[in-house]
């Protein structure tokens, strides 16, 4: 009998965006999925995993992600995560996962912040293409099962508050020890440089993504859903100009798709 496809809920809050791109990436990874509003609580709990997309939920009033994090639907998402369901927070979704204490998730309370960017040229919102490098080939993480150690992935960022910080230096060392820091900002060649533009927002330890200790929840500030197809990448002008015969080439998966492929594999392994 054919294996049932994992079914992913892309949970949309007022002010979110990129929910359509997130669903496209889910479907391209051969999963089923649907965009669900935050208030469809009875529907949300039926799904095998969750994606919280980017944007400006509730206009990011007070600070980024905090109002989203207080919504009752997160009680359902937290319960699902406790039962092993994967949860991926992208940009604004990452901010909400930090604000509700699911990331880093060591003390069941808010332990970090995503502070305003530090950028020598631009104050506030900053959008560009960057590179992230897999810090560990950590097979326990739901989102890295197909990603090799120190693999470099091109992805865009688009945020004003993406700087992972904490005053607790012991926490940072604990995250490193636990292998919870999944991606770090790097050069195209994989060099970790703390200075701009390699580190586009001033995040401590060049952190781009963190997972919880169990490995099934990840908060990532860059946008893998915007870099899941070759056609989305910024350096394929020549390929596009070679004519319609190359349409299959530009529809091929880009490296960031592996995050969604890994999510699928994690769910399938868990079910088995």
- Please write the tens of the pLDDT for every residue from 65-116: 899 999 999 999 999 999 999 999 999 999 999 999 999 999 888 899 999 9
Interval 12-63: pLDDT, tens? 999 999 999 999 999 999 999 999 999 998 899 999 999 999 999 888 888 8
272 pLDDT higher than 60: no
- Give me the count of residues in the chain: 272
Q: Cα(3)–Cα(20) distance, rounded to whole angstroms?
A: 25
Q: What pLDDT is recorded for position 138?
A: 67
Nearest to 225 by CA among 46, 15, 7, 10: 10
Q: Report, as residue numbers or ranges, the catalytic residues.
A: 91, 223, 225
Q: What pLDDT band is residue 242 in, cutting at 50, 70 and 90?
A: low
* Second-level CATH architecture of 7-271: 3-Layer(aba) Sandwich (3.40)
Q: What pLDDT is recorded for position 169?
A: 83
Tokens linked to 20: 């359509």
Interval 123-173: pLDDT, tens? 889 999 999 999 866 678 999 999 999 999 999 999 999 999 998 889 999
Q: What pLDDT is recorded for position 1?
A: 41
- Predicted TM-score (pTM) of this structure: 0.94
């Amino acid at each position: 009998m054919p294996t049932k496809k994992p079914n992913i809920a892309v949970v949309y809050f007022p002010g979110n965006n990129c929910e359509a791109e997130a669903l496209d990436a889910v479907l391209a990874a051969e999963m089923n999925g649907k965009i669900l509003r935050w208030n469809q609580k009875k529907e949300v709990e039926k799904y095998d995993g969750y994606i919280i997309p980017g944007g400006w939920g509730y206009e990011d009033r007070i600070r980024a992600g905090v109002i989203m994090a207080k919504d009752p639907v997160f009680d359902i998402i937290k319960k699902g995560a406790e039962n092993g369901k994967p949860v991926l927070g992208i940009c604004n979704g990452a901010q909400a996962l930090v604000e509700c204490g699911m990331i880093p998730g060591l003390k069941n309370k808010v332990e970090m912040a995503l502070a305003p960017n530090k950028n020598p040229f631009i104050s506030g919102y900053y959008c560009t293409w960057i590179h992230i490098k897999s810090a560990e080939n950590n097979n326990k993480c739901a989102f890295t099962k197909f990603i090799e150690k120190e693999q470099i992935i091109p992805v865009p960022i688009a945020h004003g508050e993406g700087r992972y910080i904490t005053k607790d230096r012991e926490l940072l060392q604990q995250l490193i020890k636990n292998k919870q820091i999944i991606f770090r900002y790097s050069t195209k060649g994989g060099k970790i440089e703390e200075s701009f533009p390699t580190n586009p927002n001033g995040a401590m330890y060049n952190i781009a993504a963190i997972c919880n200790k169990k490995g099934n929840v990840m908060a990532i500030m860059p946008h893998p859903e915007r870099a899941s197809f070759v056609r989305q990448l910024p350096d394929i002008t020549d390929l596009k100009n070679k004519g319609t015969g190359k349409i299959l080439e530009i529809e091929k998966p880009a490296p960031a798709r592996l995050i969604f492929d890994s999510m699928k594999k994690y769910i399938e392994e868990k079910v088995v």
